Amino acid sequence: MSLPDVITMLLRIPGLLFAISVHESAHGLVAYMQGDDLPKRQGRITLNPVPHIDLFGAIALILFKFGWAKPVVTDPTKYKNPKVGMGLTALAGPVANIFSAIIFAVVLKYIYKYNLIANKYLYIMIQEAYLINLYLAIFNLLPIPPLDGSKVLFIFAPNKYVEFYYKYEIVGQIILIACIFFAPFLLSFFLEPTAFVVSNFINFIVNLLP
């Protein structure tokens, strides 16, 4: 691994800490808005990254740009509609990351347009923050347990799907971790085209700004 690669990975860390904090806080906030105060009592509705960090997930994010944080524990029995509530809570994290990616894209646009930053490392750090939020959102929307995408399906899926999910959640988790650390190219095969489409959509939005 070359020195520039090491520097780039180190410059990902601030964006990583921000991305996982926004992601998990959004989960907790939406759960709280639906009547579940468990995330708040556990201190998970915060932009402080410490309560959200999962060591292996953070390492995966730094190395591969996709990974995970410590899951927010919720109590779906507090929701008016537990199945829909779980789906909305799961969706909140990726949506928060997409909004964050848009904000970083806007910042990058005006930095480049008006030459606001001379320090190339600061520019790279912001660029990496954009990418981390983008990839964290897309990765978590994969419909593989225990990722958010598998829970978003709760909104539309029959009750049998929910039973199947909880029965085989651990299997999906094992397969997912194995792919991340031993065959990341398999995930990239699905993630890269999606990231390309979403990135182009974000660029379209940003280009509408003066």
The Cα–Cα gap between 139 and 190 comes to: 9
Q: Please pick, among 24, 128, 163, 169, the residue that the annotation labels catalytic.
A: 24
Question: Quick check: 96 and 22 in contact, CB under 8 A?
Answer: yes
The Cα–Cα gap between 204 and 201 comes to: 5
The Cα–Cα gap between 210 and 204 comes to: 12
24 catalytically annotated: yes
Question: Quick check: 132 and 16 in contact, CB under 8 A?
Answer: yes
The residue type found at 143 is: P
Q: Which residues are catalytic?
A: 24
